[in-house]
Structure formats: structure tokens, C-alpha cells
């Protein structure tokens, strides 16, 4: 058994699209604050079907070996380690 504990924070949304958008936003904000946040593992589900998970991020390994894709699940652009338009320097990171 793993010694890691995971945090589950229930947040409701009216549909899958908005659930994914909110989950991506929350994960990106939390990841800026603490390196232990793993955005690639974030998923959403219907309240009554929590065993059917829908991924939020692509999280595919990048072809150059430089990490994982941070774009939304099923994006159309090539995989990337950066989200176009996001400035990651605004909030200081707490380690």
C-alpha cells in the first residue's frame, strides 16, 4: 500500500465542459502554489457515476522527453509544456 495520501475536493459544475474548465483552472492555480499538485492526474465525474472518470489534461509525454503535455484533454494543437497566454511568474511558489 502506498504511503501517499490524496486530497479529493468536491466541486460541482453544471456539465462536463464547465467541470473540465473549472478543474483545469483550479489545478493550475494550486500547481503554482505547491509542487506536490499533479495536474495531469486531475479528472472529473458525474456525481452519481464517480467510477467513470473524464480526464482534464492531455498529460501525454512530450516527444523530446521534456515533461508532459499541459494542454486540455483532446486538444487539437500539438502537445506542449506551456499553455499559450498563461504567465506563470505572477504567483510565487511555496515549496
User: Which of 30, 58, 62, 83 contacts Zn ion by CB under 5 A?
Assistant: 58
**Considering the rule CB under 5 A, would residue 83 count as an interface residue with Zn ion?**
no
Q: Which residues are paired to 61 by β-bridges?
A: 68
Secondary structure E strands in 1-95: 43-46, 49-55
Q: Whose Cβ is closer to Zn ion: residue 34's or residue 60's? A: 60
Nearest approach, Cβ of 43 to Zn ion (angstroms)?
15
In the complex, the residues that contact Zn ion under the rule CB under 5 A are 58, 60, 69, 71, 79
Amino acid at each position: 500500500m502506498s504511503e501517499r495520501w490524496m486530497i479529493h475536493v468536491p466541486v460541482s459544475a453544471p456539465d462536463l465542459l464547465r467541470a473540465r474548465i473549472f478543474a483545469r483552472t483550479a489545478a493550475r492555480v494550486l500547481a503554482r502554489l505547491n509542487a506536490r499538485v499533479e495536474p495531469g492526474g486531475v479528472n472529473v465525474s458525474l456525481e452519481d457515476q464517480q467510477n467513470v472518470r473524464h480526464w482534464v489534461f492531455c498529460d501525454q509525454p512530450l516527444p523530446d522527453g521534456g515533461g508532459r503535455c499541459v494542454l486540455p484533454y483532446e486538444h487539437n494543437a500539438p502537445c506542449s509544456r506551456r499553455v499559450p497566454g498563461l504567465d506563470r511568474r505572477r504567483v510565487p511558489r511555496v515549496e
